[in-house]
Amino acid sequence: MCRLACALLTALLAPAAQARDTMTWLMPDIPPASMPVDGKPTTGIADQIVLYLSAHWPAVEHRFIYANPKRTWLMVERGERACVVAALRNAERDKLAYFVNTNLVPPLQLVAQENTVPRLPLNAHGEVDMEKLLADPALRGIIVERRSYGAAVDLLLAKRPATSRLETTSVGDYGRNVLKLVSHGRADYTLDYDYALQYASRTEPDIGALKTVPIAQNNKPMLGGIACPRNAWGMATVKRIDQIVGTAEGAAAMIKAQNSWHTQASQQRYAVQINEFQRQRAKPTH
């Protein structure tokens, strides 16, 4: 009698135990943030981060879901037991999730051919004044239609004068085709993240010759991290993740994942801030 009752009790408890023992990671669906092979992480930024975490968290089974931002943040908002990897942090997302900061990400850059850089309106720090650039009738820019380039830059783009030579295009491929247009001289500049240029240049030598220039109105690095739902499970999970990455080895692994997809120029440009972030990241914060 006891044997049957115990068997039934074990069967009833098994699903709950399985749920507790599974860690679900929500992975970005844009390279080089992630570059899955057969649904498994490989060499992307988020891939390397989650591979480090899973290697140092063997007590649970790790599951990976590659999803677009809309699906990802809807799951977080619903409080589902899953955490977003390599998420940029902002005030809106802080209302939905608890965060573990893992990286200091270089901000959006202006991308241009090397011979275009001397023609840009640069300040004393070598940063391009975006407002002056948009008003310059001699320089042609191109950006992706309906893409957000961050609040500060989006505002400048919306307020640009009617005479601005900045054009929009609906081409896809995550802006990679726009980089090709600049490299072939069809436009003087575009806007993108340093890691996007690095990714595109791995297969397109012409793109690799393009240069990045910091934007004066958008020159602060952004916090990137792992976001978990704002509930008891999310808080407990964030604390566990923070313990894993909050070591010298963990902090170095986070920076290595990022630097593998950033140009040397960008790494040098933000070296002081990133090194200080790594120093603080080398210990738990929760």
How confident is the prediction for the chain on average, in pLDDT?
90
Lowest mean pLDDT among 3-7, 79-83, 261-265: 3-7
Over residues 262-283, the mean pLDDT reads: 93
Phi-psi region at 76: left, alpha or beta (left = phi > 0; alpha = psi -120 to 50): alpha
What pLDDT score does 8 carry? Answer: 45
With contact defined as beta carbons under 8 Å apart, do 269 and 275 qualify? no
- ∠ CA 97-22-43, nearest 5°, is 75
Query: Looking at per-residue confidence, does 148 or 183 come out higher?
Result: 183
pTM of the model: 0.82
What pLDDT score does 15 carry? Answer: 47
What pLDDT score does 175 carry? Answer: 57
CA distance 157 to 166: 9
What pLDDT score does 189 carry? Answer: 98
Nearest-Å Rg of the Cα atoms of the chain is 22
Confidence of residue 247 (pLDDT cuts 50, 70, 90): very high
**Is pLDDT above 70 for 183?**
yes
For 55-82, write each residue's pLDDT tens digit: 999 999 999 999 888 899 999 999 999 9
